[in-house]
Structure 1
Amino acid sequence: MSSSAILVRQIPFSFDEDINPVWNPQRPEWSHMLNGASLTMPYLEPFLIKTVTEALKQVDDPQLKADVRAFIGQEGAHYKNHRRYNEILKQTCPELADVEDEMEAEYRAFQKRDLKWRLAYVAGFETMTMGITEWLVRKRASLFFGADASVSSLVLWHMVEETEHKNVAYDLYMHLYGDWRGKALGLLCGSTHVAWSSRKGYRRLLMRDGKWERISSRLRLYAMAARFLVHTSPAMFRSLLPGYHPAKVNDPEWVAQWTSAYDGLAEGCIPLLDTSDPEIPARFQT
């Protein structure tokens, strides 16, 4: 089953050098949870790219090959933008470099695993992102209202493109292996490892802010983590059902609105959303 059109957008997001790491002042714990996720991207996504590039050598289907190449293009653009943001985060919290070193070592070790395990990890992580996308887009009013426009726009652009290539890793794994148990193991490994890696980053940031030991902050953090599980678990469980395919999952309507708005954007413009509007509409600041 083929993916829909996958457009590789080379968007040069930019961030103020003095940007506040608490980019949503109403939700400091949430801000750092996403900061922690951003820190993983320059290590996770090259791992995804290397894995599917290796698997691509075994693929003869022209459409799947084209989809995989587009997947590689989108993921490459994602981690480059996240890296720019992460470099600014490290100016405020230099000890995040230690977290990055740990992630680099972990993914270097993962790269030595067999291709089937690595591709299952990739497909598993991509399954989790479907749940994350549904959550962030549908709850964008409560998660991004009043937040920094550049960070919010980076995250939601990333999520839009996750919907565009949502089939690719699944199709590639099933094309080469088609093993249900391996797919389930990949879902567990990919999801839990990325979540744990993100935790390392946001823990350091909350410690820097003096919030990690505060009961009130920890309770807000746990509440947000619970929301994450509530909104992502259905997508992960759904992927284990007989007859499942990502293409059967309907994307939030806002995703199509975003892509339509981007199509009308002048070349070279950065798609910055208006986070001062409580609805976070799919239109861009001019």
Structure 2
Amino acid sequence: MASTTPQGLCIHPRQMDFELPDPLPRHWHGGDAFKSHLFDAMSLQFPDGERFFIDSVRYFREHIGDPQLRKQIRSFIGQEGHHSREHQVYSKRLRDLGYDIDRLEGHVQARIRFTQKRLSPQRQLAATAALEHITAIMAEGLLRDARHLEGAHPTMVRLWRWHALEETEHKAVAFDVYNQVCGNRSLLRRAMLMGTFFFVLDTSRGLVHMLKRDGLLWNWRVWRGGLSWLWGKRGIYRPLLGPYRDFFRDDFHPWQRDSLELLQRLRGEFDGAHQAEEANGPVPS
């Protein structure tokens, strides 16, 4: 299918230094253990996961003839590299609080080693395109609905909004590369099912570990409040089910869900006036 990525899309890597609180408040999300540790558990997957995404896309960079997509690949690499570094600092803060971060990250690292050793570059890229869709719909939900981070520590709010903004900007890069070098939709759907399983598994494993260390694993109020926040009548994850299912359509493309207006409205949080008007400046390759 032809890409529906908007012409002139700005994918702009931002060099950020958030100076995360040290020590990090254990329950930085408004004193709520479930909310804090759900975000914490997701963050633990990013340092190694983002590097995997970079490697899977970079492998095919020389196969791409479209100069605009090649430019977007460079910006994708720059953004994901910055994300990985910031979330490494986040992981260190959690490690300092006494959580077994090495064990939790070890599960992710072992799976990535297996994937890179046993699966073809095309299947690795399919996994990246699938997981990028998961992060993109979650990112857009976070940017549109203030309840995701309502009451959280201001620095943590800024970190997560920055990450969400850039994930939304580059949400179609891996997908467009995949379409150019492979395009097998059946392989893409299988990658989504597998990626969803492991994303939920790793997030749940981290959440359970940190609640257990806090002595709150069997506190039913913590679980009742957390699950209601996620999946209740006004749960923040419920609106994501439709966009998630869209991925399985034969004609799906990430930019069928138009978020350009959202990006234009929110870039001012992180960009200077001159940066907001730039397309793509020099970025790491």
Q: TM-score band, normalised by the shorter chain? A: 0.7 to 0.9
AA aligned to 2:134 is M
Counterpart residue identity of residue 116, structure 1: Q
* TM-score, normalised with respect to structure 1: 0.86
Q: Superposed, which structure 2 residues align to 1:162-181 within 5 Å? A: 162-181=167-186
Question: Match for residue 115 of structure 1?
Answer: 121
Identity of aligned residues (%): 26
Shift of 1:254: 4.5
From 237, 251, 265, give the equivalent of 1:257: 265
Query: Is the deviation greater in 62-71 or in 41-50?
Result: 62-71
Which has the higher mean CA deviation after the structures are superposed, 190-199 or 245-254? 245-254
In 2 relative to 1, CA 242–105 (structure 1 residues): closer, same or farther, beyond 3 Å?
Answer: closer
Give, in whole Å, the separation in 2 of the partners of 1:254 and 1:172.
24
Q: What is the count of residue pairs matched by the alignment?
A: 266
**TM-score between both structures, scaled by the size of structure 2:** 0.86
Residue of structure 1 equivalent to 2:109: 104
SS at match of 1:111: helix
1:6 aligns with 2:11: yes
**Residues 77-118 of structure 1: per-residue CA shift (max 9 Å, x gap):** 011001111101111124222111222111111111111211
1:1-286 equivalences under 5 Å are 1=3, 2=5, 4-112=9-117, 113-140=119-146, 142-226=147-231, 227=235, 229-251=237-259, 253-264=261-272
Question: Mean Cα displacement is larger for which, 195-204 or 32-41?
Answer: 195-204
Q: Aligned in 2, Cα 1:71/1:236: closer, same or farther, shift over 3 Å?
A: same
Unaligned runs of 5+ in 1: 268-286
Q: Which segment drifts farther, 197-206 or 81-90?
A: 197-206
Give CA-to-partner distance per residue, 1:125-144, whole Å, 9 cap, x none: 1111222023212221x232
| Structure 2 unmatched ranges of 5 or more | 276-285
**Cα distance in structure 2, aligned partners of 1:60 and 1:5:** 19
Structure 1 residue 74 displacement after superposition: 0.4
Decide whether the 8 Å contact of 2:43 with 2:87 is kept in 1: yes
Q: 1:27 to 1:251 in 2, by over 3 A?
A: farther
Q: Deviation digits for residues 247-270 of structure 1, max 9, x if unmatched?
A: 221228543222134333799xxx
How far apart, in 1, do the equivalents of 2:104 and 2:238 lie? 27
**Alignment RMSD (CA, Å):** 2.0
Amino acid of the residue matched to residue 177 of structure 2?
L
Encode CA deviations 1:138-193: one digit per residue, 9 max, x unaligned: 221x2322211111111111010111101101101111111111111122122221
Return the alpha-carbon distance in structure 1 between the equivalents of residues 230 and 260 of structure 2.
22
CA contact (8 A) 1:134 1:252 kept: no
Letter in 1 for 2:105: E
Is the 8 Å Cα contact of residues 99 and 213 (structure 2) preserved in structure 1?
no
Offset of residue 229 of structure 1? 4.3
Q: Note if contact 1:137-1:252 (Cα within 8 Å) is conserved in structure 2.
A: no
After superposition, the Cα gap between the structure-2 partners of 1:86 and 1:266, relative to the gap in structure 1 and judged at 3 Å, is farther
Tell me if structure 2 keeps the 8 A contact 1:42–1:83. yes
